[in-house]
Structure 1
Amino acid sequence: MSDITVIGGIAADIEGHPYDVLKPGESNPGKISISYGGVGRNITENLARMGASISFVSAAGNDFVGRMAVQELAALGVGVENVHLIEGENTAMYLSILNSIGDMEMALCNMDVLERISVEIINKALPLLKRSKIVGIDANLIEEVQTYIMDKLQEVPLFLDPVSAPKAERSKKYIGRFHTIKPNIGEAQVLSDIEIADEKDLSEAGKYFISKGVKRVFITLNARGVYYKDEAEEGIIRPGKTKIVSATGAGDAFSAAILDSFVKGRDIKETALYGMAASGVAMESKTAVNPNMSIKNIEEKKHWIYQLD
């Protein structure tokens, strides 16, 4: 059995970049890339690269993309027995067409299969989930499934990555049932109904979450670092200057670091520092998960943080 189990989405990101000015209604020569994504999947891959004992629960289409995504995670040592490949469904995909200067011109997304992560799938994974030291979920899960997990795993600490402000609404009524949460500012505003404009507002939001029953709160501040709070202390950790290849996936690396830190018994400030360093490693890669993610590289990245409040 794994120490950590993550329940969440798998997706494929397909991006087209034309060599010249994009011409509507024509076949435009260009470069096309594909990579795997999905918040739950990204958190899981990061944890595997950190050397964690990790399993994943999810649903994807029984298509080439879904099968390859599962094979890639299995090759990293992830327990994938509870990733269900569903006949007749497409694996979740996000297709974007950029223009000649790299801005998105148009996009299509098909995330329907994520709604198929059902109570039945959770039931099949219950023996694994109940033996996990912590279970992480992303808010791609519908409300019914989230509440079912809460009811069945009352003795297991739960971690929430809200994914986005609209999806955070699914968890809002139940926020106190999570041991640890990691929203960004927009998601924290949705979850708390507190407008966050400064550090005083951050502190008020932190107090709100603790009063509801959350044990650990991490609110990410984009380039300004992370606010953290538990019942005993709060503070802000800020990053230093660094060359950023891509910020995509930095939050997923932070979530993975929180889960890994819980199992290893780090306190909240140590966890926040570890999460910031993991985010720094993530931003050195153009892919959502840096293939060079590792404990060694996270430890070396800690010099990037320059301020502890």
Structure 2
Amino acid sequence: MTLTEREREIVDLLRAEPLLDAAAIAERTGSTKAAVSVHLSNLTRKGAVLGRGYIVRPAARSVVVVGGANMDIKAHSTLPAELRTSNPGATLSTAGGVGRNIAENLARLGTPTHLVAPVGRDAFGDEVLAATRAAGVLVDHVITSSEPTGTYLAVLDASGELVVAVSSMAATDGLTVGQLLRSRDLVSHADLVVLDGNVPETPAAWLLDLAAAVGVPVVLDPVSVAKARPLATTLTPERPVLALTPNLDELSAIVGEPVAQTRAAISRAARQLHERGVEHVWVRRGVRGSLLSSRSPGGRTSVTLLPAPTSEVVDVTGAGDSMTAAFVHALLRGDSPADAASFGQMAAALTVASPETVRPDLSPRLVDAELRKVQRPQNKENP
């Protein structure tokens, strides 16, 4: 990205005073408002300025997260949960959604992050936006939907494990390519895009095509078995994906057959996805840890087993979202994929030990400190 001398002058002004408008910039630079407007348009095209309000692109590597944003309503039973009857406990409402949670975790880890997600014109939408903005996420490209803001109702037992959940996400389910077009330049100038599997098949394919055309790497979180199934046809070598992060059931749904809980079976399934353009397949296995299968540009495949760190479980909600976010953060700071996966697992362990969906004190220093406390034996092989 090459800037003219006047463009650099305008960027410097906006870094110092982000609220300047075109008229004020013209006055400071001794130019005209019309000329400044042309410069601002060029800066937006070049990716130096993002979104409305002339937001200057951060010097640090930035991420765009495209996915769901909703209000989480969690009911936590104080005793072992009994079905078909009332259970004593407590309820909590908090901003949620896979994409939104990933974005907040990234922001708390210090990665400049934009969220592209639909919210309704309602009180829940206002609450979700306020909480997300307060966490440091840039929300200029959040989409206002005619549908109500999504909700996610989860019932947790006394151990913090999920008993049942119901999601209502019409706003995300109805997301269209037309709604995403306003974020085309934002995506095109990102260092990395995270795609939440809640995005419907057609706009998801459009985003993958756009990212492939402009050379922006994509990390794709399948989210659930139902949302993973369309990926069987969406994933192709023409739409390369940097990393896919399924659990075992999601992996089975994508490859179209049951995958056994063995290293050999998971590795075979991962190789199918490598053939479809996925560079890293990171399979989450719960208490068993995870398996990372990576294919080099030369076609060589390596498999890394990562044991799960021990953790006291308070609430499992949001663990996978923090895992993905921390993995992305670590990749962008230069960690190897295996080290980034270890960083992600530790972030998830810290998250389940907290009652919050997104741990408010999450930071690279905290995660790295916990990693230093444990040994990380890794079993690598080249099948």
TM-score, with length taken from structure 2: 0.73
Aligned-CA RMSD value? 2.8
Q: 2:186 maps to what in 1?
A: 128
Superposed structure 1 runs of 4+ greater than 4 Å apart: 16-22, 96-108
Contact between 1:239 and 1:304, CA under 8 Å: does it hold in 2? no
Q: Counterpart of 2:270 in structure 1: which amino acid?
A: G
Q: Which has the larger radius of gyration?
A: 2
Q: Counterpart of 2:283 in structure 1: which amino acid?
A: I
1:185, 1:18 → 2: CA distance?
28
TM-score, with length taken from structure 1: 0.89
**1:301/1:112 CA distance change after superposition, 3 Å:** same
Q: 1:307 maps to what in 2?
A: 377
Q: Counterpart of 1:186 in structure 2: which amino acid?
A: D
- Give unmatched runs, 5+ long, in structure 1: none
Aligned partner of 1:59 among 100, 105, 118: 118
Q: 1:86 maps to what in 2?
A: 145
Greater relative contact order structure (CA < 8 Å, 6+ sep): 1
Worse-superposed segment, 226-235 or 162-171: 226-235
Q: 2:50 maps to what in 1?
A: none
Contact between 2:174 and 2:200, CA under 8 Å: does it hold in 1? no
Q: 1:187 maps to what in 2?
A: 250
Contact between 2:156 and 2:315, CA under 8 Å: does it hold in 1? no
Q: 2:34 maps to what in 1?
A: none
Worse-superposed segment, 8-17 or 29-38: 29-38
Q: Counterpart of 1:225 in structure 2: which amino acid?
A: G
1:220, 1:99 → 2: CA distance?
22
Q: Counterpart of 1:208 in structure 2: which amino acid?
A: Q
Aligned partner of 2:352 among 275, 278, 283: 283
Over residues 156-206 of structure 1, what are the superposed CA-to-partner deviations in whole Å (9 max), with x where a residue is unaligned? 111110000111012221224222100011111111234223111111122
Q: Helix, strand or coil for the counterpart of 1:95?
A: strand
2:320, 2:158 → 1: CA distance?
28
Counting matched residue pairs gives 307
Q: Counterpart of 1:158 in structure 2: which amino acid?
A: V
Contact between 1:66 and 1:91, CA under 8 Å: does it hold in 2? yes
1:1-309 correspondence runs (5 A): 1=57, 3-16=62-75, 31-87=90-146, 89-95=147-153, 109-154=167-212, 155-176=215-236, 177=239, 178-194=241-257, 195-232=259-296, 233-302=302-371, 303-304=373-374, 306-309=376-379
Q: Counterpart of 1:308 in structure 2: which amino acid?
A: Q
Contact between 1:48 and 1:76, CA under 8 Å: does it hold in 2? yes
**1:74/1:152 CA distance change after superposition, 3 Å:** same
Over residues 253-292 of structure 1, what are the superposed CA-to-partner deviations in whole Å (9 max), with x where a residue is unaligned? 1110222123222222111111111112212212221112
